[in-house]
Chains A and B, each alone.
Chain A
Amino acid sequence: MAFAPALHSEWLKIRTLRSLPGALLALFAATTAFSALAAADGSSEPDFDPLFTALSGVLPGQIAAVSFGALAMSSEYHGGALRLTLASVPRRGRWFAAKVTAVAVPALLAGLVTAGTALAVARAGLGSAASGLTTAEQVRGVLGCGVYLMLMALFAAGLTALLRSGVATLSLLIPFILVVSFVIGDAAGTVADFMPDKAGQIALHQTYDGTLGPWSGLAVTALWTVGALAAGAWSVRRRDA
């Protein structure tokens, strides 16, 4: 069994379920809309960060990315779908890699397009308040945002394979994202900085003053994602389908 047919099959699965392209569309729409709102809201706050304001739509928007990852994986855990899948691709490690790739690529592309659009829209709203942003910072923000959204989608996909349920994953992750970001997020203790979402979001800021920088922050998020995927792969390989 080669990898390419398995990947083709997984890609076709994503394309042919309306809810999955729908989730990516929701990611784009929600992120852009919330970024535009944040930009229109103004730059009066003392710790105003033009890059983060422009990309702040990602905070609510990432829920769509997480849903995309969880739904893409959880469709295998209904009505014995995984059995049919593994009967056609019995090498489970190869199948899991194909699934992960088929989630990662569209999530990354949608994330990059979303971040680029959100930044452009928000800059128009911010006007001169955003003029301090260098090109390098903007590129880093957009790239970092795309990678961050992909990692969050994969984190959800890995957890779903471990828990064998999209509902369980989403009811765990969404409150977690909301609580960490909006409640204990501002009281930035060092532990909160290393949470999967908080660490990666450093890349969305123009200035940062913690232990982690934009790339090391994304690396921390990537570690969480790798952990979740490894656990998911273990579950797929070891358990009866």
Chain B
Amino acid sequence: MTSIEVQQLTKEYGTGRAVDDLTFTVLPGRVTGFLGPNGAGKSTTMRLVLGLDRPTSGTATIGGRAYPTLHEPLRHVGALLEAQAAHGSRTGRDHLRVLAVSNRIPERRVDEVLEETGLASVARRRVKTYSLGMRQRLGIAGALLGDPEVVLLDEPSNGLDPEGIIWIRELLRRLAGEGRTVLVSSHLMNETASFADHLVVLGRGRLLADTPMREFIHARVEPRVRIRTPDATALRTALAGHGYDAVQHEDGHWTVRHARVDDIGRLTSQAGVPLLELAAEEGTLEQAYLDLTATETEFTAQPQEA
């Protein structure tokens, strides 16, 4: 299968470095979330991978080959870069036909991806009549046109309605499930957390993290357990006996920090504390991300707009 390999990639514009000595690999069979604030270099990296911009140094390849050397590239790599790329005066269907013929993709694929992205009913309307969400779907349809084994999507959930966001999540999961290589950039944490298996995090053009998402969160967010009990004294005694630190909240539930739900469950049961509720409080990607960026001195010194 095909990976995206980025090796010591650097891109300078004037005096600034949009991408700074970046090295990572995007593997097939999973959704890789490409995270970072606006201006972190995500879109630039994607353009470099697609051979649209020229790197100052380093290389970006797909399955070991530079993108411009691919024969009929849309059959190997599908990309969504900008939702505004389709000409407003063309119909959605004609926009896709133009792309299809350039790579000898059969015309039936045009109708298939229109169906798949829910655009079949508006396919013969001009793109300027489309909402942002529909343009986004058209861009995704273009990316899927050649049935590619590598899919790069830049902020695909922009402008999508809640239904569309669920759709894109399921689409990404399915594409990865079919063994494709899926790289999806976003600056929305909760959104990324809902579909990504793996994370590549950028800040100011540099690589901040390249880890599985669960690991990323667990390494950075303390595990917590949420408890409700009618017998506060018994609970406090039992927890204190094992060195746990518990805080009671106004509505009566307790939070035990640095604790796993398995341990607390066993402990309270042995101590005979009556429980009304016992749940693990999962750390969120947002918490982990903020923790990561807080440790980056550059971020705290010059916070970026997000």
Contacts and interface: CB of A to CB of B under 8 A. Distances in A.
B81 interface: yes
B283 interface: no
A88 B71 contact: no
Contacts of A241: 47, 52-53
A5 B85 contact: no
B102 A16 contact: no
Interface string A36-76: 00000000000000000000000000000000000000010
B108 interface: no
Contact of B102 (A5, A75, A81, A240): A5
A189 interface: no
B85 A81 contact: yes
Given A19-B89, A80-B82, A84-B85, A1 B97 contact: no
A83 B47 contact: yes
A12 B91 CA distance: 12
Interface of A: 1, 5-6, 8-9, 12-13, 16-19, 75, 78-81, 83-84, 86-91, 240-241
Contacts of B91: 16
Interface of B: 47, 50-54, 67-68, 70-74, 77, 79, 81-82, 84-87, 89-91, 94, 97-99, 101-104, 142
Given A90-B67, A240-B52, A241-B53, A83 B90 contact: no
Contact of A87 (B50, B54, B90, B98): B50
Contacts of A5: 72, 101-104
A83 B99 CA distance: 12
6 contacts: A5-B72, A8-B102, A79-B82, A89-B102, A90-B50, A240-B47
B54 A240 contact: yes
A79 B89 CA distance: 13
A18 B68 CA distance: 31
B101 A9 contact: yes
B84 A84 contact: no
Contacts of A80: 81-82, 84-85
A87 B87 contact: no
Contacts of B104: 5
Nearest to B54: A240
Q: Which 8 A-B pairs have the closest CB atoms?
A: A79-B84, A9-B102, A80-B82, A90-B68, A240-B53, A16-B94, A241-B52, A84-B85
Contact of B72 (A1, A81, A84): A1
A3 B54 CA distance: 23
Nearest to B95: A16
